[in-house]
Amino acid sequence: MKNRAAYMTGLNKMEIREIEVPVAKEKQVIVKLEYVGICGSDVHYFENGRIGDFIVNGDFILGHECAGTVVEIGPGVENLKVGDKVALEPGITCGHCEYCKSGRYNLCPDVEFLATPPYHGCLMNYIAFPENMAFKLPDTITTKEGALIEPLAVGMHAANQGNVKLGDSVAILGSGTIGLVTLLACKAFGATDITVVDVIPKRLEYAKKLGAAAVINAAETDALAEIHRLTDKKGVDIVIETAGSAKTVAQTPYAVKNGGRIVLVGMAPQDIIEYNFAKIMAKEAEIKSVFRYRNIYPQAIKAVSKGIIDISGIVTHEFAFDDVAKAFDFVIHNKQDVVKAVIKMD
Ligand SMILES: NC(=O)c1ccc[n+]([C@@H]2O[C@H](COP(=O)([O-])OP(=O)(O)OC[C@H]3O[C@@H](n4cnc5c(N)ncnc54)[C@H](O)[C@@H]3O)[C@@H](O)[C@H]2O)c1
Ligand SMILES: [Zn+2]
Ligand SMILES: [Zn+2]
């Protein structure tokens, strides 16, 4: 058995190196990874070396969207066996703090999240991982789809936070990976009128293909005026911001209807944003936010394996592990074309 990992060795520099094959400790499994998705955050670390207070220090392994096959089980493992296909939920939490104990483990201050410094990611052949964060995939779901459970979980958490339900109207601002998985989640939750806004026509085409009832190109049309037109001036039940821009965050109070809900998912580059709270008050609108996800993997895996959510539709590019450096370069230079690129591990 040989293990190799892709190290980011500096800004826009990556090389594959041989590393030790991990040993399964108590309640851990060794997973041979088969697919790893490239996330916007991986690209951001690769280009900038940091996201907010998380700073890459030294050689660093990216990647946190992954799935593969169990090849070894450690002592005390009860629910997985060699040969099981699994998707890994990348945040390992303490299990003891008030957030973990109340089920909101995504808020655990001691979380060790793959590819969030100082914790390495999973762009490697073999990884040791806690059994309780490795979710078994049924036969009806591939490990490629398994790797996409991670971004899908963000979209499902957004739909949960917005309490999206049957018959709701939803406006999703931004049609990148997160906007699209949010669209898939809202559709699965029963929203009937989903409008997706972006400034890149190609991305809006994907939104249309994945089930948006309407799309708005904000580079050509006044998005708010169009949302008002589509909703008889009322606004939508739920607005979900996934573009991560100050402009779209500031649009949310105008797009939501009286008593509606706003869900903030995108991370704008600036911390402080001018925002119309008077509108929020007058509409008695609710503002919710999203930090990753919690308790969603089992539900997401079921939805994909039963064909309720077709997640494979978001993959636009696939690269071999040996070409991982090329893959990052390609993603960086073709941002308009790439929605989700995945690395096929070998
Ligand atoms: N809260 C969380 O836990 C969480 C998790 C994952 C990602 N994120 C954040 O979600 C955001 C989206 O991630 P992504 O991977 O989809 O990024 P992305 O860059 O692929 O998508 C953003 C989209 O917004 C569009 N956009 C830009 N300006 C716009 C405007 N004025 N109106 C409409 N659309 C506009 C872009 O064209 C792009 O398609 C990022 O900010 C990311 O950091 C948050
Ligand atoms: Zn991600
Ligand atoms: Zn905790």
Contact 165, 192 (CB under 8 A): no
The number of the ligand nearest the C-alpha atom of 108 reads 3
Domain assignment of residue 88, yes or no: yes
* Ligand 1 nearest-atom number relative to CA 268: 41
- The CA-CA-CA angle for residues 246, 268, 207, to 5°, reads 85
- pLDDT recorded at residue 160: 98
- Please state, in angstroms and as integers, the Cα–Cα distance from residue 175 to each residue in 9, 117, 193, 198, 202, following that order: 31, 27, 16, 6, 9
Q: What are phi and psi of 333, to 5 degrees?
A: -90, 0
- In 3D, which of 207, 291, 293, 221 has the Cα closest to residue 251? 221
Ligand 1 site-directed mutation target among 196, 265, 270, 271, most atoms within 8 Å of CB: 265
In a domain, 295, yes or no: no
**What is the pTM for the complete model shown?**
0.98
Q: Does a structural domain hold residue 187?
A: yes
Q: Does residue 303 sit within a domain? A: no
One domain for residues 248 and 284: yes
Domain assignment present for residue 305? The answer is no
User: Is 203 domain-assigned?
Assistant: yes
Residue 302 domain-assigned (yes or no): no
Count of domains forming the chain: 2
**Looking at residue 199, which CATH number applies to its domain?**
3.40.50.720
Q: Answer yes or no: do 174 and 91 share one domain.
A: no
Nearest atom in ligand 1 to the alpha carbon of residue 267 is 41
Q: Which two tokens stand for residue 190?
A: 């029963």
Model pLDDT, residue 72:
98
Is 109 contained in some domain? yes
pLDDT per residue, tens digit, the chain (346 aa), is 899 999 999 999 999 999 999 999 999 999 999 999 999 999 999 999 999 899 999 999 999 999 999 999 999 999 999 999 999 999 999 999 999 999 999 999 999 999 999 999 999 999 999 999 999 999 999 999 999 999 999 999 999 999 999 999 999 999 999 999 999 999 999 999 999 999 999 999 999 999 999 999 999 999 999 999 999 999 999 999 999 999 999 999 999 999 999 999 999 999 999 999 999 999 999 999 999 999 999 999 999 999 999 999 899 999 999 999 999 999 999 998 999 999 999 8
pLDDT of residue 37: 98
Measured from the CA of 293, which atom of ligand 1 is nearest? 3
Q: Same structural domain for residues 176 and 232?
A: yes
Give Cα separations from 96 to 103, 127, 129, 295 (angstroms). Answer: 11, 24, 19, 16
Instruction: Identify which of 202, 211, 209, 217 has the alpha carbon closest to the alpha carbon of residue 339.
Output: 202
What's residue 107's pLDDT? 98
Q: Which CATH number belongs to the domain containing residue 95 in this structure? A: 3.90.180.10
Q: Which residues line ligand 1 (CB under 6 A)?
A: 40, 154, 173-179, 197-200, 203, 218, 242-245, 247-248, 265-267, 290-292
Domain of 232 in residue numbering reads as 155-289
